[in-house]
Structure 1
Amino acid sequence: MIGYILVVLVSIEAIGIMLLEMFGSAQQQANAFELDESFVKIPEVKTLLANQGIYNGLFGALIIATLLLLTGPQQLLMLKLEMVFVLLAAIYGSLTAARKIIVMQGLPAFLALIALFL
């Protein structure tokens, strides 16, 4: 049960990240990703953030769809894969963008993954 609660939190977080990346203010985006606000205001960067945001939102939606549409071993397998994918994205993000991503996005996915295996 704890695993499923954590999975729901990971999906909510992914949708929240989407909202930040697509609709957040330049100041919010700059703080979240440890970037200069002037950089985030560049039109091409705004477009790139929105593109990244749609991926996060769709991933959050996929996790929710997995919970609602699948059952049994198929659901569990998909949730484990999705948590691994979130964890890998968080590791990459922490190495290339902001170190705090590993804690903010990776830790909940890691804890969910452990709970799903138990």
Structure 2
Amino acid sequence: MLMLANVLAALVALLHLYFLVLEMFFWTKPLGRKAFGLKADFAEQSKALAANQGLYNGFLVAGLAWGLMQGAAGAGRPWLLFFLGCVVVAGVFGAATASRKILFVQALPGALALAAVFAL
């Protein structure tokens, strides 16, 4: 179970690192616009907001990485529980306010990792 918890938490961290890159660096580029279904003019107008979102995703990555480095079954467990909980809450809120797709892309992976860490 420890390996599963580590792998799932690491995958969630990598997923949020990907979100950071898309939102901070590729929001107005074809890759970012395609990923989020944006028109060029809207992407340009909202790029500062997207960069801010990306930064917050970076904080999630940092917290998850810190928890993984401390050990999911040891001192890192509370860190992982907190930051994975944040991922789930953000995913549910995003699904309720922006797109239901976020429930599956963000909240579900976070919830699976949270359950695995909680089970340790």
2:5 to 3, 10, 27: 3
- Report if aligned partners of 1:11, 1:60 keep a CA contact under 8 Å in 2: yes
**For 1:84-99, what aligned pairs fall within 5 Å after superposition?**
84-99=85-100
Q: Corresponding residue for 1:79?
A: 80
Q: Corresponding residue for 1:17?
A: 19
1:37 to 33, 40, 44: 40
Q: 1:116 to 1:24 in 2, by over 3 A?
A: same
Runs of 4+ more than 2 Å apart: 25-38, 69-74
The Cα shift of 1:22 comes to 0.5
Letter in 1 for 2:65: I
- Report if aligned partners of 1:33, 1:97 keep a CA contact under 8 Å in 2: no
Q: Corresponding residue for 1:28?
A: 31
Q: Which runs of 5+ in 1 are unaligned?
A: none
Q: Which runs of 5+ in 2 are unaligned?
A: none
Give me the TM-score of the superposition, normalised by structure 1.
0.86
Q: 1:66 to 1:117 in 2, by over 3 A?
A: closer
Q: 1:95 to 1:30 in 2, by over 3 A?
A: farther
Indicate the RMSD between aligned Cα atoms, in angstroms: 1.8
Percent identity for Structure 1 against Structure 2: 34
- Report if aligned partners of 1:10, 1:108 keep a CA contact under 8 Å in 2: yes
Letter in 1 for 2:19: I
